[in-house]
Structure 1
Amino acid sequence: MAACGASGGAGSDSASGKVEGTVEFQTWNLRTNFKKYFEGLIADFEQKHPGTKVEWIDQPAENYADKLSADAAGGTLPDVVNVSPDLAVPLAKAGLALDLDKAAGKYRDEYLDGAWKSHQIPGMEGTYAFPWYLNTGPMFYNKKLFKEAGLDPEKPPTTYDRLFEDAKEMADRSKGRIAMLGNAPAIEDFGRYGVPLMDEQGTKFTFDDAKGVELLKKYKELYDVGALDSQALTNEAEATGRKFQQQSIAMNPGSALDLGKFKKEAPSLYKNIGITPAVSNTGKDNMYVQGLMVNARSEVKPAAVAFAHFVTNAENQMDFAHEVTVFPSTEGSLDDPFFTEEDGTDETRVRVAAAKSLKTAVNYTPVLFSDQMKTVLRNEVAKAMQGEKSPRQALDDAVAECDRLLKSAG
């Protein structure tokens, strides 16, 4: 993506014209489990639009970003590409992502507002991918551990102040044996705490403000008294999940797939499981979103836009949600009984809880916040927790390094 900042060329945002030609469609690690679904989807589109053909390419999860970068540099980027918001950024900056506000703005009202905005980039006008499927992680908590700590098992914390209070109580009552949480704060935690993460122009990060420092101080207090797992600074999601299963951590984010796992592998945890939205000071949960970007230099732009819209329309998103535990980004879809009515099964318990929170959820992770920046923040947070730096110094240093990386990215 070395063409950073290059223009997409005259007329690159126009998608008017006849829907015809061969559309190359690239997904990200979906063929293995959903071959039949996508083959049916493609056949339906080709039938609806005679004169079109869709060639489906599926790339493995590993090195997907590198593959996109190589295709962009080599001029071989497919017409419709599965991206997350952060992956769309360098392509949009290189003039390779079609601005859908201009080319397909008539479809905007079909999607949830938060989902459409998730593919907007600070400092650039426009929206650079159709929102596709969404997810969010409800929090699981262990009612038995809450009860043993003298906490109300039917009223888990919903705000950070209450979380910190309950976490200290649990550590105190269990003599440091039970930690409330297993991970140090990541960028979305700062967002849920109400910390402004970036300026509106997208030129600098701002999570080292007074509120950000306050959050890190509170987490350090938890760490110091054993209310945060002792390995929280290095724990990956898998390790934290194991500790939750072993009942040494009282709260942990998860998905519907985890409930079945608990039932099978940890029945004593399963019978005490509680489900609650993630803790937040903003009243809005975190949204994870996938999108479909249209190549601004596609030679079959009308067909590419038509196909990306077809894949992400309400009917087809709903069909996909029946295949796998994801949620549609289309307006009104989450009101369907499939997402609102429980039938006593574990799957619906989590599905209904997650769907409810997604209606107002936002993607807290700034689209310009790269994996490299996530590592910078994690390392600086660890230094603050271990007392090597003050929370203020650690966050100032993290912001300075992330700003440097931002500038060097063009």
Structure 2
Amino acid sequence: MRISRRAVAVAAVLATVLPLSACGGSDDESSDASGAVKGEITFQTWNLQANFKDYFNGVIKDFEKEYPDTKVKWVDRPAEGYADKLSADAAGGTLPDVVNVSPDLVTPLAKAGLALDLDKDKTSSAFSKEYLPGAWKSHQIPGMEGTYGFPWYLNTGPTFYNKRLFSEAGLDPEKPPTTYDQLFEDGLKLAKQSDGKIATLAQVPTVEDFGRYGVQLMNKEGTGFAFNDAKGVEMLTNYKKMFDNKALDPQALTATPESAGTKFLTESVAMNPGSAFDLDNFKKNAPNLYKNIGITDQISSTGKVNMYVMGVMVNAKTKEKPAAVAFAHYVTDATRQMSFAKQVAIFPSTKGSLDDPYFTKEDGTDETRVRIAAAKSLKKAENYTPVLFSEQMKTELRNQVAKALQGKQSPQEALDQAVKACDRLLQQS
């Protein structure tokens, strides 16, 4: 199975904060990974063995050839229950030496003293310059100093738009909105010109939208959420205006990514986020849409799009720290990431990799067209989903946003309630 942008997005928010009983590392426990790279380590991945067995076996073979005194045991866990498995291993003291994690999964492990602080370790901190700044930052946790995982593969996606619908509304089909202010303006025009029959979007705003709008999502200490500030209220107020004027689809309150995609496919909404795989779907199932398809960056008022991040964490209590750090870095270095990116639709997190012709040179195919656009935007992308923002928190935000759009409470009241609920969940974690 290929890894789509949507699959990575789902993976990145799979778990809430893990209920760990493990305690933090002691002060006399060395974080120094210098020394001979030797010994046997265990490497755990997340639902990758079925489709990439040969790739990972090759990486392990090459590593063991470069470091002949090492032995790497590879284990792969299914996506379902992965967070629970990590929790059980952490509590039982059986956490593997090197672990495939997303930023939200590494957070509770770091708090429990089980994730190696790469910034504190002299060997691994030297590797930080090899990665894109936004990617390296993704495994940093508000309220804690340090970086707790090597960034691995990234993903993002463009925004697709319907040029025909833009033209019929009197909008320039070659100049789609790129900021939220432009989106709100164009959306209202499009709805008015179509007598409310054509919406611009089919989904309500998420925490990533608030981030791309420029809203401060958390306080600097990482102890509470802050998206109920004036800028957050401003954004939700504009979304309500869109909703009231049918520029936001009436069914957006209950929409899923799949139902929103169907709305775009049937040309009842003008814009929708997607991935390279969507183009082939448009070509086969919606040829009229396909011939009028436009591709642009994600809407952002910060100049930076959202990235989804996967990482590799080193167990702080591993008995073979030099080997574990060396392997985690090996898996995520530029050579291995570039090789992996050519097998599956992901992007390297290493500096310079996105300048490779594979990500810059057109070959006339739709897949390459989208890949180039995404790679360009990733160079200065950010992971806007706070690492402390759980699935329960996403639900709380969505529910309060829906109440504001329906006029059951003001945007300020809705966001105040959302922040209150998210802060309560944060304190319970």
Q: Same fold (TM over 0.5)?
A: yes
The residue that corresponds to 1:43 in the other structure is 61
- Give the distance between the partners of 2:151 and 2:132, measured in 1 at CA: 9
Of the candidates 355, 367, 376, which is equivalent to residue 396 of structure 2?
376
Which of 94, 100, 117 does residue 76 from structure 1 map onto?
Answer: 94
Match of 2:9 in 1: none
Number of residues paired by the alignment?
409
Instruction: Check whether the contact 1:141–1:252 (CA below 8 A) recurs between aligned residues.
Output: yes
Deviates more, 1:90-99 or 1:257-266: 257-266
Corresponding residue of 1:98: 116
Q: How big is each residue's C-alpha offset from its partner over 1:297-345, in whole Å with a ceiling of 9 and x where there is no partner?
A: 1112111111110000001000011001111000111111111111111
Percent identity of equivalent pairs:
68
| Superposition misfits of 4+ residues, deviation over 6 angstroms | none
Instruction: Establish whether residue 173 from structure 1 lines up as the match of residue 193 from structure 2.
Output: yes
Q: Distance in 1 between matches of 2:140 and 2:186?
A: 37
- Post-superposition shift, 1:193? 0.6
Q: Residue type of the partner of 2:291?
A: K
Choose which of 404, 409, 417 in structure 2 pairs with 1:397. Answer: 417
Match of 1:8 among 22, 25, 44: 25
How do 1:344-359 and structure 2 match up within 5 A?
344-359=364-379
Other-structure match for 1:224: 244
1:33 equivalenced with 2:71 (yes/no): no
Distance, in Å, in 2 between the alignment partners of 1:5 and 1:376 is: 29
3-state SS of paired residue (2:342): helix
Query: What runs of 5+ residues in structure 2 fail to find an aligned partner?
Result: 1-17
* CA RMSD between the two structures: 1.2
Does the C-alpha gap of structure 1 residues 396 and 12 become closer, same or farther in structure 2, counting only changes over 3 Å? farther
- Partner AA of 2:140 in structure 1: Q
Give 1:125's match in structure 2, choosing from 142, 145, 149: 145
Match 2:362 to one of 322, 334, 342? 342
1:185-239 deviations in Å (ceiling 9; x for gaps) = 0001001111111111101110000110111111111111111111111111111
Q: Name which of 252, 270, 277 aligns with 1:250.
A: 270
Pairing 1:85–2:103 present = yes
Equivalent residue letter for 2:94: T
Mapped contact 2:22–2:90 kept (Cα < 8 A): no
Residue number among 259, 268, 272 corresponding to 1:239 in the alignment: 259
Question: Residue 17 of structure 1: CA displacement?
Answer: 2.5
Q: Where in structure 1 are there 5+ consecutive unaligned residues?
A: none
What is the DSSP-based 3-state SS (H/G/I as helix, E as strand, rest coil) of the residue aligned with 2:358? helix
Superposed CA offset, 1:96-136 (max 9, x none): 00001122101111111111011001111110000000111
Mean Cα deviation higher: 14-23 or 72-81:
14-23
Find the partner of 1:107 among 111, 118, 127. 127
Report if aligned partners of 2:21, 2:91 keep a CA contact under 8 Å in 1: no
CA distance in 2, matches of 1:250, 1:12: 56
How far the C-alpha of 1:5 sits from its partner, in A, is 8.5
Aligned with 2:80 (options 62, 67, 91)? 62
C-alpha distance 5-71 of structure 1, shift in aligned 2 (>3 A):
closer
Counterpart code for 1:98:
L
Q: Does the Cα contact within 8 Å between 2:39 and 2:70 map onto a contact in 1?
A: yes
How far apart are the structure 1 equivalents of 2:286 and 2:68?
A: 53
1:18 to 29, 33, 36: 36
Cα displacement (A) at 1:370: 1.1
1:303 pairs with one of 317, 323, 327: 323
Q: Point out the more displaced range, 209-218 or 263-272.
A: 263-272
Instruction: Describe the superposition over 1:67-89 as per-residue Cα deviations: whole angstroms up to 9, x where unpaired.
Output: 21111111111111111111110
Following superposition, the deviation at residue 62 of structure 1 comes to 1.7
Tell me the TM-score normalized by structure 2: 0.93
